[in-house]
């Protein structure tokens, strides 16, 4: 009799547990729906609260965690370097990483990786941004925007230190870095050693972007910029510098021609497009 009673008690406990789990899942769905509605109405703080509760009720609810990450990211303001703002980005990154830990489908993986990469880029954590864009490329090798983004990061990483060194030397914009001055030569050699691999990586990734999207005018514009980076560290080879600058000019022309074609295809286009000066 005692054994039967124990069995009944165990069965009742299991049923109560299952019932509680079921209720939590229903509560999670309800919170998810309320969060989605708040998000659509741009009530992001309210949405975050609902999504967080949904995740608390059901940690396996993938969409709730994705929405929570996205809502945090929406609250982040690029360029505003404050503790509260950075915390929003960190919270978003944390949730995107938890989504990845759940081994979701390819689309959710790519979306989460792109979200992390974008946040790191806006936080000026360029090495981490590049790392996550490369993860995107592994899962979606046919996305030209990923290779473009890597190219932009590469250019950003070489442009800033080069311009800082030029400013220290007091060089004018049209003065080459590889001048006769001994200090200039050393700076040029050091920059070439530091930047050359990144410059080539940027060119390679922009080429991949253009192979996948031949009319990618933004990628063309950065090819121009990247060849100017290359030209300025051709320290002992004036011919190579001239060739790089010629290539950069050609990319400017390609960019402008592509923009004209795109503009002409826009609804309401008159077929007449005014030339705009290119920033060389």
| DSSP output for 82-134 | -HHHHHHHHHHHHHHHHHHHT---HHHHHHHHHHHHHHHHHTT-HHHHHHHHH
Average pLDDT, the chain: 88
Q: Tell me if 31 sits within 8 A of 37, measured CB to CB.
A: no
pTM flag (> 0.85)? no
Model pLDDT for residues 232-271, shown as the tens digit of each residue: 999 989 999 999 999 999 999 999 999 999 999 887 654 4
Give the CATH number of domain 24-141. 1.25.40.10
* Range in 9-13, 73-77, 188-192, 205-209 with the lowest mean pLDDT: 9-13
In which band, very low, low, confident or very high, does the pLDDT at 108 lie, cut at 50, 70 and 90?
very high
Q: How many residues does the chain have?
A: 280
Q: Is the dihedral of CA 45, 113, 224, 172 positive or negative?
A: positive
Domain segments of the chain: what residues?
24-141, 145-263
- Report d(CA 131, CA 119) in Å as an integer: 12
Cα separation, 211 vs 243, in Å, equals 22
Residue closest to 101 by CA, chosen among 50, 59, 49: 59
pLDDT on residue 272: 40
DSSP assignment of 136-148 equals HHHH-TT-HHHHH
276 pLDDT tier (thresholds 50, 70, 90) = very low
Per-residue pLDDT band for 160 (boundaries 50, 70, 90) equals very high
pLDDT surpassing 80 at residue 176: yes
pLDDT exceeds cutoff 60 at 171: yes
Percentages (nearest 5) of helix, strand, coil residues in the chain: 80, 0, 20
- What pLDDT score does 26 carry? 85
Contacts within 8 Å (CB) and 24+ apart, 33-40: 35/64, 35/67, 35/68, 35/71, 36/67, 39/67, 39/70, 39/71, 39/74
């Amino acid at each position: 009799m005692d054994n039967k009673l124990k069995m009944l008690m165990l069965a009742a406990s299991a049923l109560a547990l299952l019932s509680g789990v079921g209720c939590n899942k229903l509560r999670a769905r309800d919170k998810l729906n309320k969060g989605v509605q708040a998000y659509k109405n741009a009530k992001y703080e309210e949405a975050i609260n609902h999504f967080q509760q949904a995740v608390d009720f059901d940690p396996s609810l993938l969409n709730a965690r994705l929405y929570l990450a996205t809502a945090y990211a929406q609250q982040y303001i690029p360029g505003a370097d404050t503790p509260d703002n950075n915390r929003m980005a960190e919270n978003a990154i944390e949730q995107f990483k938890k989504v990845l830990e759940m081994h979701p489908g390819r689309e959710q993986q790519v979306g989460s990786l792109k979200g992390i990469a974008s946040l790191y880029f806006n936080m000026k954590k360029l090495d981490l941004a590049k790392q996550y864009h490369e993860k995107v490329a592994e899962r979606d090798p046919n996305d030209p925007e990923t290779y473009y983004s890597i190219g932009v990061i590469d250019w950003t990483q070489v442009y800033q230190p080069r311009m800082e060194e030029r400013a220290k030397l007091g060089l004018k914009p049209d003065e080459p870095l590889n001048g006769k001055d001994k200090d200039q030569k050393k700076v040029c050699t050091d920059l070439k050693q530091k930047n050359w691999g990144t410059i080539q990586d940027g060119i390679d990734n922009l080429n991949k972007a253009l192979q996948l999207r031949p009319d990618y005018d933004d990628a063309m514009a950065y090819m121009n910029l990247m060849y100017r980076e290359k030209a300025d560290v051709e320290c002992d080879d004036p011919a190579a510098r001239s060739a790089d600058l010629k290539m950069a000019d050609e990319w400017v022309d390609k960019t402008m021609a592509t923009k004209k074609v795109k503009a002409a295809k826009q609804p309401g286009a008159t077929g007449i497009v005014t030339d705009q000066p290119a920033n060389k």
